[in-house]
């Protein structure tokens, strides 16, 4: 089935890498015009060029730091200016880190909350009026399994991701009557640069043995899930596509685990 986002305009933040990149590519392949937004300007230009090589005019790159409120306002304004409207927001950009509640510093806490939570609210804030003007829209906010269950070494990350779930439910309830749906995705571990950073800072992967090779650690981490593998970026892009599309028209206010069954146990 192709064309599941035909005629839609979408913003994907964190589109230069990992889940955001896979999602921007999939959204465009399904017919959307996509603003590919990321702090990594060189990489996001490559991603947009790759999309346009397959489907000319489907993507625009935008260098933005979602830790800066003015940047987010500009991101939304530039999207509407370029493509004429806004139907889908995938607020996916984020950072990883590892600390304990004791070792975490106030700077580390504030940075995490700014990039992984405040930026999601601001993206929604600036997107909402345009989505309402377009007659409705779908907001997909990136949470995490760590927003649903306790995961060691992530006090600030878990707090930010749980906050994303609360924010998403609030928007679903308040803006549903205006045609806006809002859902959060809660992925378990998918090996991306973000997860590599967390594992490096912890010294070992989740559920893995210290000293094991990276390949072995990935295998061990996957075996902790009822579906015995780690996630792939495509698993998340597929769910984001479904939530962005009209196929999920009666789904709003959810925090969907995407975790190979991990949170069921």
Ligand X SMILES: NC(=O)c1ccc[n+]([C@@H]2O[C@H](COP(=O)([O-])OP(=O)(O)OC[C@H]3O[C@@H](n4cnc5c(N)ncnc54)[C@H](O)[C@@H]3O)[C@@H](O)[C@H]2O)c1
User: Can you give the binding site for ligand X, defined by CB under 6 A?
Assistant: 13-14, 16-20, 38-40, 64-67, 92-95, 115, 142, 144, 187, 189-190, 192-195
The nearer residue to ligand X, 117 or 180, going by C-beta atoms, is: 117
Asked whether the beta carbons of 79 and 133 are under 8 A apart, the reply is no
Is 157 one of the annotated active-site residues of the chain? yes
- The pairing of beta strand 59-63 with beta strand 88-91: unpaired
The nearer residue to ligand X, 48 or 134, going by C-beta atoms, is: 48
Q: Is 258 left (phi over 0), alpha (psi -120 to 50) or beta?
A: beta
DSSP state of 6: T
Catalytic entry in 90, 157, 191, 206: 157
Q: Is 78 left (phi over 0), alpha (psi -120 to 50) or beta?
A: alpha
Measured from the CB of residue 177, what is the shortest distance to ligand X in angstroms?
28
The nearer residue to ligand X, 122 or 134, going by C-beta atoms, is: 122
Torsion, CA 50, CA 184, CA 119, CA 190, rounded to 10: -50
Q: Supply 188's token pair.
A: 């378990």
Measured from the CB of residue 79, what is the shortest distance to ligand X in angstroms?
15
DSSP state of 129: H
Angstrom distance (rounded) from CA 171 to CA 180: 8
The phi, psi pair for 34, rounded to 5°, reads -125, 125
Measured from the CB of residue 7, what is the shortest distance to ligand X in angstroms?
26
Angstrom distance (rounded) from CA 199 to CA 97: 9
Q: Supply 245's token pair.
A: 């599309």
Measured from the CB of residue 20, what is the shortest distance to ligand X in angstroms?
5
The nearer residue to ligand X, 115 or 124, going by C-beta atoms, is: 115
The nearer residue to ligand X, 114 or 128, going by C-beta atoms, is: 114
The nearer residue to ligand X, 41 or 135, going by C-beta atoms, is: 41
Measured from the CB of residue 8, what is the shortest distance to ligand X in angstroms?
21
Measured from the CB of residue 236, what is the shortest distance to ligand X in angstroms?
7
Angstrom distance (rounded) from CA 178 to CA 136: 7
**Quick one: how far is CA 22 from the chain centroid?**
11
Helices (H), the chain: 18-29, 41-54, 69-83, 106-113, 119-133, 155-175, 193-202, 214-223, 233-244
Q: Which residues are identified as catalytic?
A: 157
């Amino acid at each position: 089935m192709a064309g599941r986002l035909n005629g839609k305009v979408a913003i994907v933040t964190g589109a230069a890498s990992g889940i955001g990149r896979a999602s921007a590519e999939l959204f465009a392949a399904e017919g959307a015009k996509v603003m590919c937004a990321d702090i990594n300007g060189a990489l996001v230009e490559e991603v947009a060029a790759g999309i346009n090589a397959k489907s000319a005019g489907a993507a625009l790159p935008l260098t933005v730091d979602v830790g800066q409120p003015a940047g987010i306002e500009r991101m939304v304004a530039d999207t509407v200016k370029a493509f004429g409207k806004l139907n889908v927001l995938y607020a996916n950009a984020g950072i990883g880190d590892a600390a304990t509640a004791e070792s975490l510093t106030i700077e580390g806490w504030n940075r995490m909350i700014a990039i992984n939570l405040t930026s999601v609210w601001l993206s929604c804030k600036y997107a909402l009026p345009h989505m309402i003007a377009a007659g409705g829209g779908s907001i997909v906010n990136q949470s995490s399994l760590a927003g649903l269950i306790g995961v060691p070494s992530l006090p600030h990350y878990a707090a930010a991701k749980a906050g994303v779930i609360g924010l998403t439910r609030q928007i679903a309830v308040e803006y549903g009557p205006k045609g806006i749906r809002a859902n959060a995705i809660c992925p378990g571990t998918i090996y991306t640069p973000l997860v590599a950073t967390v594992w490096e800072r912890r010294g070992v992967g989740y559920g893995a043995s210290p000293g094991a090779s990276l390949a072995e650690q990935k295998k061990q981490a996957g075996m902790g899930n009822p579906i015995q593998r780690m996630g792939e970026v495509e698993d998340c892009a597929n769910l984001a596509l479904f939530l962005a599309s009209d196929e999920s028209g009666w789904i709003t206010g959810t925090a969907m685990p995407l975790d190979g069954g991990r949170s069921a146990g």
